Amino acid sequence: MAAPKAVTFDCYGTLVDWEGEIQRVFKEILANHGITDVDTVAVQRRWEDLQFDYIQEKYRPYTEVLTNTLPMTFKEFDLPFDQADVEMFAGSMGSWGLFPDTIESLKELKKYTKIALITNTDNAIIAQSIAQMGVEFDAVITAEKAGVYKPGHNGFALACKELGLKKEEILHAGFGFKYDVVPATDLGFQTCWINRQGEVRPVDYQETYLVGDMRTFVLMIKGMAESDYIKFE
């Protein structure tokens, strides 16, 4: 297999610790209301289900999505919150922490291929996250730019256009199976499921490659690139 000319990434859950940071924020909100005995993993997973359905309805700015889905979730669990909590959650995404392997992996990967983002967020939020990484991407496609959230297809088409590449020359990598692997597969991209949490495959689709973290992913791409070099030397 030849190395891809570009890798497009999901950001939140792949490069940013999406699940862990949401759980952290929920714990903080609840602790401020004197509650410390809630399973915030369950709350976060239910929030993600509600959020996924909500972003399929129509395009809304992601700050608005965050603002509206926290109350939906907390009300289901009969958990307390106030407007300040909602505003804090909606304004926190750009500061959510990276996985420990993100920065060095991206820097190493840039030696072998172009890198880009296809991300379900707003331009302003992703700018904050990229500033944390300190890495320059060859293209950044947001839901705001595409006018639709993944698993919608617009972002993938925009990525091809901005990178000046065909889908056959790009590998799409992400943690979100239904957000990333499914639509990219349907469109004919090669895919890599970066399954950081060891999740069970949720639907009957098959990714091209499967790894558990970014370090392993970079080793895979490096191996492809070095094989290409040996082949054509």
Point out the residues that are catalytic: 10
CB 191, CB 1: distance < 8 Å? no
Strand 170-174 with 190-194, pairing: parallel
Which token pair is 164?
């000046």
